Amino acid sequence: MLKLGILGLGTVGSGVVKILEKNAENIKNKVGTEVKIIKILVNNLDKERDIEIDKNLLTDNAEDIINNPEIDIVVELIGGEQPAYDYIMRSIENGKSIVTANKLVIAKYGKRIFRKADENDAQVCYEGSVAGGLPIIRPLQNSLAANRIEKIYGILNGTTNYILTDMSKNKKDFDESLKNAQDLGFAEADPSSDIDGHDAAYKITILSSLAFERFVDVRDVYVEGIREIKSTDLELAHEMGYVIKLLAIAKNGNDGVDIRVHPAFIPEDHPIAMINGTYNCVYLHGDAVGQVMSTARGAGQMPTGSAVTADIIQVAKDINYNQREVQRMDSFLESNVTKIDEIENSFYLRLEVEDKPGVMAHIAKIFGDNNVSLASVLQKQKDNPVVPLVFITHHVKEKDLEKSLNEIKELDDVIEIKSVIRVENDI
């Protein structure tokens, strides 16, 4: 028999308990022995729960799991940085293998955790940390291992994908769609990590380290969220044959990894553009396999519970058969993140300007002087003296664009630069 200690009995923890119980026979057949929970860490021993649980399993003392010599595998489902990181490291020091869904801890401290695990002959699995029910960590480690992967694109946050889909389909503003997502239980009471892009940044950092075998510092990843996206931009995108998505991007380069999260125009006939609502997706190119795209729900009790339980099965099987299928990461190199102002992108720009002769000429001159080449221009007709002016640029260096926008802002006839959104035409 293999014995589990679970740290945390929230939404995902309860899902894991349900799956382990419901599919116990099937899991025993896969692992070759019974897998049994012997302790669960909770905050409140007396709390009413939506699952039936033997109260004797519950403890409010983490040491009953971390320092319990009977426990083989520690399943960390507390989330957040501390005490989760400390519990993981001390459990590994005690020779236990780890299953976690903690994206923050893996993205920020993965290198230290994997090194400690290798020193202690322990395993660390984290399929649940990226895109919940979507299988991507183990496919990168195993099924796609023969490939060189140079680029990964993902929609890695369900809350923001739901909000952008709702804004676009129902012509709503950001605040209204966010409230809708919160009322439906998709968005957290404090949704800032989701809507400001940090949640997706942790996830793409984890994927990029596996795909490129390079560790980067997640604090260097450029992150821009969706708070500034207006329904006007979504409508204009649609008129021009695009959708807007919060895109997580990782590209392997000679001098570093170009890794970033920001809203992006995507051609509306691209497979990623079809991923709507709370769905996540990962789209990558392997030199042998070609394009691969996976999609699934990226959050929720049972989808994430499914990923975490699959990791438990994998680690339990490895321990039971004295084998090691989980990838070692000791050969991974450290790498820089390419600075955003060195990156070249195409941009969508929406300005509000006075509708009078010479305005366009002034703006075009500034672009030209700063090496910014225009791909298309659209002036929306309105019966007032102030009109929206929309540009799509060719690929330009971010710093050249920024310089030209700083100059354009100062022109008397330019009322405001309303939106600046990257365009990803080459995915």
> Of 3, 39, 203, 317, which is the active-site residue?
203
- 9 among the known binding-site residues? yes
Strands (E), 210-343: 214-215, 222-223, 242-252, 257-267, 279-286, 290-297, 333-334
| Rounded distance between C-alpha atoms, residue 341 and residue 398, angstroms | 5
Selected range binding ligand HSE among 106-114, 151-159, 171-179, 225-233, rule: CB under 6 A: 151-159
| Using rule CB under 6 A, residue 295 touches ligand HSE | no
Cβ distance to ligand HSE smaller for residue 202 or 265: 202
| Rounded distance between C-alpha atoms, residue 272 and residue 265, angstroms | 11
| Using rule CB under 6 A, residue 158 touches ligand HSE | yes
Q: What is each CA distance from 112 to 93, 115, 119, 324, in whole angstroms?
A: 12, 5, 11, 20
| Using rule CB under 6 A, residue 299 touches ligand HSE | yes
- 368 among the known binding-site residues? no
* Whether 297 contacts 279, CB under 8 Å: yes
- 13 among the known binding-site residues? yes
| Using rule CB under 6 A, residue 76 touches ligand HSE | no
Q: Which of 72, 76, 166, 199 binds ligand HSE (CB under 6 A)?
A: 199
- 10 among the known binding-site residues? yes
| Using rule CB under 6 A, residue 165 touches ligand HSE | no
Taking every pair of C-alpha atoms in the chain, what is the biggest distance, in angstroms?
Answer: 81
- For residue 182, what are the contacts with CB-CB under 8 A and spacing of at least 6? 188, 189, 191
| Rounded distance between C-alpha atoms, residue 164 and residue 277, angstroms | 8
- 168 among the known binding-site residues? no
Phi, psi at residue 5, to the nearest 5°?
-115, 130
Q: How far is the CB of 199 from ligand HSE (least distance, A)?
A: 5
Q: Give the contact letters, 226-255, x = binds to ligand HSE (CB under 6 A), - = no.
A: ------------------------------
* Residue at token pair 């419901």: 22
Q: How far is the CB of 132 from ligand HSE (least distance, A)?
A: 6
Cβ distance to ligand HSE smaller for residue 262 or 350: 262
> Which residue type sits at 177?
S
Q: How far is the CB of 304 from ligand HSE (least distance, A)?
A: 7
| Using rule CB under 6 A, residue 157 touches ligand HSE | yes
* Whether 169 contacts 176, CB under 8 Å: no
Q: Which of 194, 224, 233, 400 binds ligand HSE (CB under 6 A)?
A: 194
| Using rule CB under 6 A, residue 390 touches ligand HSE | no
Cβ distance to ligand HSE smaller for residue 160 or 209: 160
| Using rule CB under 6 A, residue 159 touches ligand HSE | yes
Selected range binding ligand HSE among 65-73, 154-162, 371-379, 413-421, rule: CB under 6 A: 154-162
203 is catalytic: yes
Q: What is each CA distance from 358 to 16, 109, 418, in whole angstroms?
A: 65, 55, 20
Phi, psi at residue 22, to the nearest 5°?
-65, -40
| Using rule CB under 6 A, residue 155 touches ligand HSE | no
DSSP H stretches of helix in 171-300 = 174-183, 192-195, 198-212, 231-239
Which of 278, 127, 130, 293 is closest to 199 using CA atoms? 130
Structure tokens given for 315: 């680690």
Selected range binding ligand HSE among 1-9, 156-164, 404-412, 414-422, rule: CB under 6 A: 156-164
Cβ distance to ligand HSE smaller for residue 194 or 311: 194
- 151 among the known binding-site residues? no
Which of 119, 120, 118, 138 is closest to 128 using CA atoms? 138
- For residue 361, what are the contacts with CB-CB under 8 A and spacing of at least 6? none
Q: How far is the CB of 368 from ligand HSE (least distance, A)?
A: 42
- 79 among the known binding-site residues? no
Number of residues that bind ligand HSE (CB under 6 A): 7
Cβ distance to ligand HSE smaller for residue 69 or 185: 185
Selected range binding ligand HSE among 83-91, 157-165, 205-213, 346-354, rule: CB under 6 A: 157-165
Neighbours of 18 (CB within 10 A): 17
- 5 among the known binding-site residues? no
Binding residues for ligand HSE (CB under 6 A): 157-159, 194, 199, 298-299
Annotated binding residues for NADPH, as ranges? 103
Active-site residues, by number, are 203
